Structure 1
C-alpha cells in the first residue's frame, strides 16, 4: 500500500464507488464526498495529499466553471495539496485553463485504470515533495530562530556601555558594514549578535567565522566554497560561509589576522558582491550584512603595511569601540551577580552570595581579561566554594588582589601572553582545555602561541 491520502469529490455516486474500489487497495486513505460545499471543511479536518475533483456538479452545466472555482479555493487554503480534475467534457482550452489555475493534471471520463493510477501516483508524489520541502523550510526557520536567540545578555548600565548601545540602536536597522574593536573578552561578538537580531535580517542566520582559525590553504574553500573534485580532498561540493550567510549577516571575527595576500580576495568579493566556488566558473551573487571585529589597532596595521587601507575603508563604515571592563566599574557587580546565578544553578549551589569585602575587591580589580575573565573567575569560585559565602580568597590569589586598574602597567600583548601561559599551565598543557578556559578556538590559541613564542 502506497503512502498517501486521497479525497474524491464527484456528484455521481457510481463514479465515487468506482474510484474508491480502484484506489482504496493502493493507498492509506480514500474518502468520498458528493457535495462540493463540504470540500473545504473536510480538508480542514483531515490530512490529504490529493483531491480528485469533478469539474461539473449542476445538471446540464458542462462549462467546468464549478471545478475551476473549487480548484481555486483548494489552492488558496491548501497550496501543497495536488488537485487532479476529472470531466467527461474535455477540451484543450479548459485543460490549459485548469493547469494555469494550479491543477496538477487533467483526466477524462471514462478513464483507463492504469493511466489514472499513474496520474494519481505522480500527483501524490508531488504533494509529498512539496510538504517535505515546506517542512524543511520550517525547520530551517526554527533553527535560525534558535541560533539567533539571545542566550547571553548585554548587562550593564554604565555610561560607557550605554553609549555603545545607543550607537548599536542607530545602526542596526541599516545594512552598513560595521567594525567592532576592543580588547579580548569585552563582548564584541555579543554586540555583533545584538546588531543582527535588531536588524531587518534577524529572521536569517548570522554566520560567524574566526579568521584566526582559517588556514591560508583553505581560505577560499571556507569562505567561498568549492565544487566536488576541485582539489584532492574535495570529495563533495561545499557551500562557503558567504553563501551560507546570504540574506543574513556575516561576522568575521579577528579580521586583523587575515594575511595580506588573502585580503585582496576578500576585498574583491565584497566589492563585486559575488563569490566563485573553488573549481567553478560561474559566480554566485551574495547579499550579506558584514560585521568585523578585532582587538588590534587597524590604523596602525595599515601604517605598518600589514592591512590594506582600501579593505579597511570597506569594512569600517561604522566603527564601534567596546570599552574594557576597567572602564565599566559600575557594571562589574551586576555582571558578577549574573554569572553567580548562572553557575550556582548549573552546579547545584543556589544559596551562594558574595561578601562585601569580596565585592569591593572584584570592583577594584582591573580585569585584563575583561568579561570573559570575570565569568571564568566566578565559575571557578562557585565550583570550589565550601560555604555559602564567597570571600576574597575564593576569587583571587594573594598576588592578584593588589592588581589595580592601571592601563599603563602592562601592554595589552603582554597581558594576553601572560593569560595564555597561565591557562596552559593550569590545564597541564591541554590546549583544548586552555582554549575553552580562554573562550577562544584551539586554532586561535595555537596561532597566538606561535605569535608569542609560547611552547607547549
Structure 2
C-alpha cells in the first residue's frame, strides 16, 4: 500500500489498480488536483483500506492480473465496497471499457465510469463532482438522522455531537435503520444504548409498531420463558391468567433485548431456536405462534470473550450480530462534551423551570478533563445537579460536583515548552472551549477547513 499526502481538502482517494505505472500516474495527477491518495494493487487490499474507514472515494480498475478482460474481479470489488460502505462514491475504470461492462459496474453500485487512457479534465471533473455530491449526501443523511432522532423530547440524547466517531455512527444508523437487519449495539454503561435503539425504531419501517424493551439482566432464570414467550393460565403456580410474552407484544415492531450477555447459558438455546425458526410456544401450550419482530440487542460485555469462556453460544452471537453498532464512550468524544452539556442544561432548565445558565471557563475545563466513567448518563446527571444548585448567572466548576472523580487541570505550560503535537492539541482544546463545543466555529477560528479540523480531532483523540 502506497500513500501520498498533499494538503487534502477531503479524505483520500483510494486507487485500486494492478498496474504500478497507472498508480504512479494517478498519484501525481491527484496531487496536482490537491487530493491525497492511497494506492493498492488488488481488490483484497482495497477492502482492507475501506475497513479502516478513512476513504473519500474509490477509483477502481475493473481488470486485474488474474482476469484481464471480463472485469469479474473489479465488479466483485465494487459489489463488496458498496456493501461495506453504502454512501462511498465509486468510480470504475478499465482499459477494456464496453457499454455492457459499464452498465454492470453501475448496476452494482458504481457512481460513474472512466475509460483508459483517461482525459485529465474529464477525470478531474468526475472526481470533483462525486466528492461534492458525497459531501452533500453525507450532510443530508446526517441532518435527516439528527432531525429524526431529535423528534423525541428527551433530556437524554447521547447522539448529539460533532465528533468524527459519532458522525460515523450516525451515518451507519441512517443507512441501517430503515432495513430489517438485526442489530447489536455495544458500548459502556451510560453511553446511550437504549436511547439509540429507540431512535433506530423511530426511523424504521416499523415505527408505527410497538417498541418492547427487556433487560435480560433483571430476569430470574426461572421466569425467562414466561417473560419472552408468555404463558397460558395454569401453566405454573400463580399463573392465574394468560399472559403475552415480549415476542408477541413486539409483533409488527421492534424487540430490544438489553444486556444480552446476561442471558443464562441454558436459556440461550431457547432464544436461538426462536430466532432461527420464527416460531415459539407459550408455556403450557403446544400451539406454535409466529411474531414478525425486528430484534435489536445491546451489551456492555465482550461477547467474543464470553464465547471463548463457554458462557455464550457462538451461534446465538452470529444471529444477534448481523451488524454491530458501537457507541463510543464519552471520553472518546471530546468535541461533543460541551455541546452535550449545554443541551442537558437547557433540557433540565425547562424541566425544573430554572433560568438557563452558561458554563464558566473553569467549568468547561473541568468537563473536558473529566474521565466520565458513567458516560452520557453521568454528564446528564451532572448538568441536572448544576442546574438545580447553581445560584449565579453561570455554572462554575464548584457547581459540577466532579472534584471527587477528577482533579482540575494543572496550570497550562508555556507554548515554548511543548512539542508541535502538544501545542496543536492545546490550541484545539482552547478553540473548542471558546466556541462552546462548536467544531465548525473552532475550525474557522484556527483557519482550518472542516475536514482538516476533524482529522486533527481524530489524530489527538479529542
| CA–CA distance in structure 2, aligned partners of residues 372 and 382 of structure 1 | 15
| CA–CA distance in structure 2, aligned partners of residues 172 and 233 of structure 1 | 40
| CA–CA distance in structure 1, aligned partners of residues 249 and 300 of structure 2 | 26
The offset of 1:403, in angstroms, is 7.4
Q: 1:150 corresponds to which residue?
A: 152
Equivalent positions of 1:151-170 (< 5 A) are 151-152=153-154, 153=157, 154-170=159-175
- The RMSD of aligned alpha carbons is 1.6
2:329 counterpart of 1:329: no
| CA–CA distance in structure 1, aligned partners of residues 246 and 399 of structure 2 | 43
Other structure's SS at 1:250 match: strand
Q: 1:307 corresponds to which residue?
A: 312
Q: 1:254 corresponds to which residue?
A: 259
Q: Deviations over 1:289-324 (max 9, x none)?
A: 000000011100100111000000000010111100
Equivalent positions of 1:59-208 (< 5 A) are 150-152=152-154, 153=157, 154-208=159-213
Q: 1:401 corresponds to which residue?
A: 406
2:265 counterpart of 1:263: no
The offset of 1:169, in angstroms, is 1.3
Q: 2:456 corresponds to which residue?
A: none
2:323 counterpart of 1:318: yes
Q: 2:368 corresponds to which residue?
A: 363
Other structure's SS at 1:184 match: coil
2:222 counterpart of 1:220: no
Other structure's SS at 1:368 match: coil
Using the size of structure 1 for normalisation, the TM-score is 0.55
Q: 2:378 corresponds to which residue?
A: 373
| CA–CA distance in structure 1, aligned partners of residues 404 and 243 of structure 2 | 51
Using the size of structure 2 for normalisation, the TM-score is 0.54
The offset of 1:360, in angstroms, is 1.6
Question: Could you say if the C-alpha distance between residues 332 and 195 of structure 1 is closer, same or farther in structure 2, counting changes exceeding 3 Å?
Answer: same
| CA–CA distance in structure 2, aligned partners of residues 351 and 232 of structure 1 | 54
Question: Could you say if the C-alpha distance between residues 397 and 370 of structure 1 is closer, same or farther in structure 2, counting changes exceeding 3 Å?
Answer: closer
Given that residues 345 and 356 in structure 2 are in contact (C-alpha distance below 8 angstroms), is that contact kept between their aligned partners in structure 1?
A: no
The offset of 1:388, in angstroms, is 2.2
Other structure's SS at 2:391 match: coil
| CA–CA distance in structure 1, aligned partners of residues 253 and 335 of structure 2 | 35
Q: Deviations over 1:34-75 (max 9, x none)?
A: xxxxxxxxxxxxxxxxxxxxxxxxxxxxxxxxxxxxxxxxxx
Q: 1:80 corresponds to which residue?
A: none
Other structure's SS at 1:401 match: coil
1:350 to 352, 355, 359: 355
| CA–CA distance in structure 2, aligned partners of residues 317 and 398 of structure 1 | 42
| CA–CA distance in structure 2, aligned partners of residues 225 and 331 of structure 1 | 42
| CA–CA distance in structure 2, aligned partners of residues 362 and 155 of structure 1 | 16
Q: Deviations over 1:215-240 (max 9, x none)?
A: 11111111100011111111110000
Gaps spanning 5+ residues in structure 2: where? 1-149, 410-462
| CA–CA distance in structure 1, aligned partners of residues 408 and 392 of structure 2 | 26
Question: Could you say if the C-alpha distance between residues 195 and 351 of structure 1 is closer, same or farther in structure 2, counting changes exceeding 3 Å?
Answer: closer
Q: 1:97 corresponds to which residue?
A: none
| CA–CA distance in structure 1, aligned partners of residues 405 and 256 of structure 2 | 35
Structure 1 stretches of 4+ moved >4 Å: none
Given that residues 186 and 371 in structure 1 are in contact (C-alpha distance below 8 angstroms), is that contact kept between their aligned partners in structure 2?
A: yes
Gaps spanning 5+ residues in structure 1: where? 1-147, 405-456
2:392 to 373, 387, 395: 387
| CA–CA distance in structure 1, aligned partners of residues 151 and 268 of structure 2 | 31
Other structure's SS at 1:293 match: strand
Given that residues 366 and 403 in structure 1 are in contact (C-alpha distance below 8 angstroms), is that contact kept between their aligned partners in structure 2?
A: no
The offset of 1:346, in angstroms, is 2.0
Question: Could you say if the C-alpha distance between residues 403 and 322 of structure 1 is closer, same or farther in structure 2, counting changes exceeding 3 Å?
Answer: farther
2:285 counterpart of 1:283: no
